[in-house]
Amino acid sequence: MFINKERLRRRIDAINEASRDPQGGYTRLAFSEQDREARRMVEELMREAGLEVEHDAAGNIIGSYKCGDLAGYVAAGSHIDTVRNGGPFDGLLGSIAAIEALQCAREQRVPLKHPLRAIVFADEEGARFGSGLIGSKSIAGIPLPQPLDSYVDRDGVHLVDALKNFGIAPEKVLNAAAPKDTYSAFLELHIEQSAVLEQRQKQIGIVSGIKGVYWIRGSFTGEANHAGGTPMNMRHDALAAASKLVTEIYRIGCELGNEFVATVGVLKITPGGINTIPGHVEYTVDVRDLDMARRSEGIRQILKAAEEAAAFYHVSHEHSCIKDEASCNMDSSVMKILEEVCRDNKTNYMILPSGPFHDTLPMASLCKTGMIFVPSIGGISHSPRENTNWDDIYQGTEILYRALIRLAQ
Ligand code: CO
């Protein structure tokens, strides 16, 4: 192995230790004091690694190793912000592994044609302000879906004020947009956040693409009435219709196959009394797939099922789409390099899609991209119980390093 395991582990542990949460796990919400301290530590590590450190207009931390005659950085990175009570590796692994990979290339004086970059993206999780991907979208020149001044955290702090507090001018965030050809390739190492690798006993996942998210918000409207006085055949029960839809969505998800997933995450029942027939139910559906045609088919079946449920229970149905993001395929030449590197290194791997989004998604609009997954124990993430074996962490970092070198040579 070329990477320095002990150094990698020490750095990850130190940053986690500084943001240990008394309620469990680690909390580094974006633009919080814990985030500030972690960012300070990351910059120090970048300098220790011999990188030139800079901040861009969106608060991304960029460490460059200037080498080679060709333009176009071969970059790697991830985020260091977490959800509340997050685990040790979500984001932090890919950030510190990128610094390790660059330091390793520098120390071993590997001859390279392209310069290298480690990027630590600002606010990936969106756990505090609800947006997420702020840093990576800004580098890609993609504005957030809402105006910046509309985002507020649960304590009433505005995103624009949190940015200013970190020395970031909100109106200049998109100045971080990277000119065309700045990057020639981008790689991200990340925990899987699912149990597929563990079940298949693979140490590495090579990501084929990131599933496109589609969110539906809908409602059934019937009539609230007395649970005792209204005969069954005279009801307009909005919850009965919603329940039928929930089980239909489950069936559609199972029938369309493994990569298609659909989830009802919210049901709001009104008025919500023990002796009252529900007159109104609001629901949400999260639909994802890598295959956009199959996703459309799933959405079509779900909406048809909703209309049928409404007709069956004599209620009305309304719906709207509140998010529609296309799926994104990883670059096939990068995937091929990752496969070769795994084979050379005798690491067992498999190819799989990513359900969650990542900083790689916006980066894919700038350059060719690839993602490496390492197993999440029990498939758990966004929890203090999130964990990955150190052996898998080292293998993932080694694969990241070797692939970066191959891309830069
Ligand atoms: Co993450």
- The domain that contains 153 carries what CATH number? 3.40.630.10
pLDDT for residue 218 is more than 80: yes
Position 131 pLDDT exceeds 90: no
Q: How confident is the model at residue 166 (pLDDT cuts 50, 70, 90)?
A: very high
Residue 14 confidence (pLDDT): 98
Instruction: Output the domain CATH number for residue 261.
Output: 3.30.70.360
Query: What is the model's pLDDT at position 408?
Result: 98
Residue 309 reports pLDDT greater than 80: yes
Distance 321 CA to ligand 1 centre (A): 25
For 86, other C-beta atoms within 10 Å of its C-beta total 27
Distance 174 CA to ligand 1 centre (A): 22
Same domain as 360, residue 228? no
Burial profile 63-78: b = 16 or more Cβ within 10 angstroms, e = fewer:
bbbebbeeebbbbbbb
**178 Cα to the center of ligand 1, angstroms:** 22
Mean pLDDT confidence for 233-245: 98
Q: How confident is the model at residue 191 (pLDDT cuts 50, 70, 90)?
A: very high
76 vs 180, which has greater pLDDT?
76
337 and 314 in a common domain: no
The number of residues in the chain equals 409
Amino acid 22: pLDDT? 97
Asked whether the predicted pLDDT for residue 334 surpasses 80, the reply is yes
Q: How sure is the predictor about 29, in pLDDT bands with cuts at 50, 70 and 90?
A: very high
Q: What pLDDT does 258 receive?
A: 77
Whether 82 contacts 28, CB under 8 Å: yes
Say how many Å lie between the CA of residue 79 and the centre of ligand 1. Answer: 7
Using the mean position of ligand 1's atoms as its centre, give its distance from the Cα of residue 12 in Å.
15
Ligand 1 centroid – CA 46 distance (Å): 20
At 246-300, the pLDDT tens digits run 999 999 999 998 799 999 999 999 999 999 999 999 999 999 999 999 999 999 9
Q: How many angstroms separate the alpha carbon of residue 407 from the centre of ligand 1?
A: 23
Of the pLDDT bands very low, low, confident and very high (cuts 50, 70, 90), residue 177 is very high
Whether residue 340 sits in one domain with residue 198: yes
Residues 177 and 128 in one domain: yes
Q: Is the pLDDT of residue 201 over 80?
A: yes
Query: Are 406 and 337 within 8 A, CB to CB?
Result: yes
Ligand 1: centre distance to CA 88 (Å): 11
| Interatomic CA distance for residues 66 and 404, integer angstroms | 14
Last residue of a domain, one of 323, 348, 363: 323
Which residues, in sequence order, are CB contacts of 12 under 8 Å at separation 6+? 88, 89, 92, 93, 96, 393
Give distance in angstroms: CA of 132 to centre of ligand 1. 10
* pLDDT score for 42: 98
pLDDT beyond 80 at 339 = yes
DSSP character for 301?
H
Q: What percent of the chain has pLDDT over 70?
A: 100
Mean pLDDT of 199-222: 97
Residues 399 and 269 in one domain: no
Q: Are residues 49 and 193 in the same domain?
A: yes
Instruction: Tell me the pLDDT of the chain averaged across its residues.
Output: 97
Find the helix or strand (DSSP H, E) in which 295 lies.
helix 292-312
- How confident is residue 358, by pLDDT bands cut at 50, 70 and 90? very high
Element (H, E) at 283: strand 280-289
Please tell me whether residues 183 and 57 are part of one structural domain. yes
| The pair of three-digit structure tokens given for residue 389, joined into one six-digit string | 């074996």
Q: pTM of the entire structure? A: 0.90
Could you tell me the sign of the dihedral formed by the alpha carbons of 231, 233, 239, 240, in that order? Answer: positive
What distance in angstroms lies between residue 301's CA and the mean position of ligand 1's atoms? 31
Which of 323, 357, 392 is the endpoint of a domain? Answer: 323
Chain segment 135-144, per-residue pLDDT in tens: 999 999 999 9
Q: What is the mean pLDDT of residues 127-137?
A: 94
Boundary-marking domain end, from 323, 353, 386: 323
Dist. CA 271 → ligand 1 center (Å): 38
**Which domain, by its residues, includes 184?**
5-210+327-408
Q: Cα separation of 165 and 102, whole Å?
A: 30
- How confident is the model at residue 257, as a pLDDT? 85
The count of domains in the chain is 2
- Asked if residue 223 and residue 173 are part of one domain, the reply reads no
Q: Are residues 172 and 56 in the same domain?
A: yes
Are residues 309 and 347 located together in one domain of the fold?
no
**Cα(358) to centroid(ligand 1), Å:** 6
Are 240 and 297 in a shared domain? yes
Same domain, 26 and 162: yes
Interval between CA 92 and ligand 1 midpoint (Å): 8
